[in-house]
Each structure stands twice: as structure tokens, then as C-alpha cells.
């Protein structure tokens, strides 16, 4: 049976998925990028190589902010942006989805679909309020495991009003409410409500949110955030089983649909190859572009970052 590999490299997490030709997920891996995407990608490939079940990889897709890097390291056949990958994955999970809410480690996005086609989208990369890293930080400050954060919110009977338009204001307002003696669960639920308001007033501003609504990304694991979205929208919000690796699932689906004759996949042994990255400033014009070199065993195999393609990709 043919199999397909999807890789999603983000600022916080790196996710890999193995999918069979029927669209069934055979393996899903979620790793922390920790500022070292090359290491994270290779670690993911190494884990998959140890779980190798005679997978016949016929196609590889990459997505996320590090999709070009992942494409070079793994050898990708399809390289797509996050909007496309997340939309494709959501449609596979819920064919009649009309709205996708995606909140990751450091950004959030909304995707509007009509009849299976993306008609509008928006992304928020300015404010960290509501993202996974912000919630991790608040859970740590309150001394609560992030896995239990949302359940505290569900126990609240009297949520407090938290200012959520900015991460800094939200945190300072939480501290103030603690000093006033409010219960932790009431503060947490108030925070979830504030972050949902922030999302809807910024990322979702002007968007017509219709059911079915699919909530994906790492933050979708937080039941408090799910409940707050359902309360604010007045409709059910569906969280997929593989909500935290939906980008990788979308990349695998896109690779599957591409029907490539011969894959560029380097094999799982790519985890053992030495890849490094460095950069230089081009002096060819006033733009002074920063050009990134990707080296394999010391040899430059790819370049990007220039606006004029003077330093184009050598070999992917």
C-alpha cells in the first residue's frame, strides 16, 4: 500500500504524519521545535524510522513557516502554505465545514469555506494573547499543568471579567484579580472568555462565522477555550481527534492528491545527514536581502530570501 508523509514546521511545534492511500493516519508525531527546526525535523524522521512498518512513501508534502526548510531536508514533492493545508485537513475531517478556527503556539488564523472552497481567511501574528505559548506561560505562573488548565475553567461558577485585548494587559489584569481574592477557576474561565473575545474582535473581525465550526491547533486541546468559543458563538465547535497535527495531515493529503510519478523523498535516513543553515547579505542592490544557505554535508543545496532570484535554489 502507498503511504504519504506530511510535515508541518512551525515556530513552536514540528509535526509529522504518515497516511495510507485510503487517508487513514497510521502515525502522528508532535514535537517541540525549540528554535531548532532542522533538529526537530530530523528527530521526527528518526522516530518514524524506528517505527518503520514497511511504509512505501509515494509522496511528501510540507507546510508551516518552515516548509521550505522541511522540503529541502526531507525531499518534498508539494510545498503549500498553512491556510491551504489546514483547510484541506478540515474538509477531510468534516466535509461540510464552513469555518476553521486554528490557534497554534504563536499565531492564530481563521479560514472561511463555502462549498469546500476557501473564500476568505485572516491571520494574527501581532499579539500573543490567546496563543499556546501565552496559555503555557499563564498556566506555569498559576502553578497548574497546562493539560488541566481548561478543566479549571469548566468548574467555574462565577467567571471574572479579564481585559484580553493584549497579552500584557491580560496578564496584569489576572494578577490584579488574584490579589483581590478571586478563585483560580473563575480567573481562568474569565481569561478563556477574554481570549475568545480578542480572537473574534481581531482575527474574526468582519468574518461571517457559520457552522460547522472546526477548532484545530494545539490550543484546541484546552476544553476551556472550546467552551468559551461555543458560548460566544452560540453554536457547537468540533475538535478533531488529530487537532494538533492538522497542518501535517493537510500536507500529506496534498501530496497524495498530487499523484507524483517519482517522489523526491530522501528517505528516513535523512535524519542522519548533516544539514546546516547560514546566511549572508546580498550587496547587489539597495534591498540588501538576507540570503539563507542550506548546506548538506557542507555543500550548499538550496538558497532563498532574495527578491530578484539572483541567488536561486540550486538543488532541492
> Lowest-confidence range among 20-29, 181-190, 228-237?
181-190
- The percentage of residues in the chain with a pLDDT greater than 70, rounded to a whole number, is 96
Of residues 147 and 43, more confidently modeled: 43
Residue range 62-74, pLDDT digits in tens = 999 899 999 999 9
Distance between CA atoms of 235 and 250, rounded to whole angstroms?
Answer: 25
Q: What is the CATH number of domain 95-239?
A: 3.30.420.40
Residues with Cβ within 8 Å of 191's Cβ and at least 6 positions away in sequence, in order, are 138, 153, 162, 164, 170, 174
Instruction: Say if CB 98 and CB 90 are below 8 A apart.
Output: no
Band (305; pLDDT cuts 50, 70, 90) = confident
Cβ-based neighbour number of residue 12 at 10 Å:
17
pLDDT above 70: residue 292:
yes
Of residues 125 and 105, more confidently modeled: 105
**Domain-by-domain residue ranges, the chain?**
2-87+247-272, 95-239, 274-316
pLDDT above 50: residue 224:
yes
Give the mean model confidence (pLDDT) for residues 283-312: 88
Q: What pLDDT is recorded for position 148?
A: 87
Of residues 172 and 243, more confidently modeled: 243
**Topology alike, domains 2-87+247-272 and 95-239:** yes
Give the mean model confidence (pLDDT) for residues 296-316: 80
Distance between CA atoms of 83 and 251, rounded to whole angstroms?
Answer: 11
Domain 2-87+247-272 fold is Nucleotidyltransferase; domain 5 (3.30.420)
Of residues 127 and 65, more confidently modeled: 65
Q: What pLDDT is recorded for position 226?
A: 95
Amino acid at each position: 500500500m502507498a503511504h504519504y508523509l506530511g510535515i508541518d514546521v512551525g515556530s513552536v511545534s514540528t509535526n509529522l504524519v504518515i497516511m495510507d492511500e485510503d487517508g487513514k493516519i497510521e502515525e502522528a508525531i508532535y514535537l517541540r521545535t525549540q528554535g531548532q527546526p532542522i533538529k526537530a525535523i530530523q528527530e521526527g524522521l528518526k522516530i518514524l524510522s524506528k517505527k518503520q512498518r514497511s511504509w512505501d512513501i509515494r509522496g511528501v508534502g510540507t507546510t508551516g513557516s518552515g516548509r521550505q526548510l522541511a522540503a529541502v531536508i526531507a525531499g518534498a514533492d508539494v510545498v503549500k502554505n498553512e491556510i491551504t493545508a489546514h483547510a484541506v485537513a478540515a474538509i477531510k475531517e468534516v466535509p461540510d465545514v464552513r469555518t476553521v478556527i486554528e490557534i497554534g503556539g504563536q499565531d492564530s488564523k481563521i479560514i472561511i469555506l463555502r462549498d469546500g472552497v476557501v473564500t476568505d481567511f485572516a491571520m494574527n501574528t501581532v499579539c500573543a494573547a490567546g496563543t499556546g505559548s501565552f496559555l503555557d506561560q499563564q498556566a506555569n505562573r498559576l502553578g497548574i499543568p497546562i493539560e488541566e488548565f481548561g478543566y479549571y475553567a469548566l468548574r467555574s461558577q462565577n467567571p471574572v471579567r479579564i481585559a484580553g485585548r493584549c497579552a500584557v494587559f491580560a496578564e496584569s489584569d489576572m494578577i490584579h484579580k488574584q490579589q483581590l481574592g478571586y478563585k483560580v477557576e473563575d480567573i481562568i474561565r474569565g481569561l478563556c472568555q477574554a481570549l475568545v473575545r480578542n480572537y473574534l474582535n481581531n482575527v474574526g473581525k468582519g468574518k461571517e462565522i457559520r457552522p460547522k465550526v472546526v477548532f484545530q491547533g494545539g490550543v484546541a486541546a484546552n476544553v476551556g477555550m472550546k467552551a468559551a468559543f461555543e458560548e460566544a458563538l452560540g453554536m457547537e465547535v468540533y475538535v478533531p481527534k488529530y487537532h494538533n497535527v492538522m497542518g501535517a495531515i493537510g500536507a500529506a493529503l496534498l501530496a497524495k492528491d498530487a499523484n507524483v510519478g517519482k517522489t523526491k523523498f530522501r528517505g528516513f535516513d535523512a535524519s542522519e545527514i548533516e544539514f546546516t543553515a547560514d546566511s549572508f547579505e546580498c550587496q547587489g542592490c539597495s534591498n540588501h536581502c538576507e540570503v539563507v544557505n542550506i548546506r548538506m554535508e557542507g555543500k550548499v543545496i538550496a538558497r532563498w530570501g532574495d527578491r530578484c532570484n539572483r541567488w536561486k535554489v540550486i538543488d532541492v
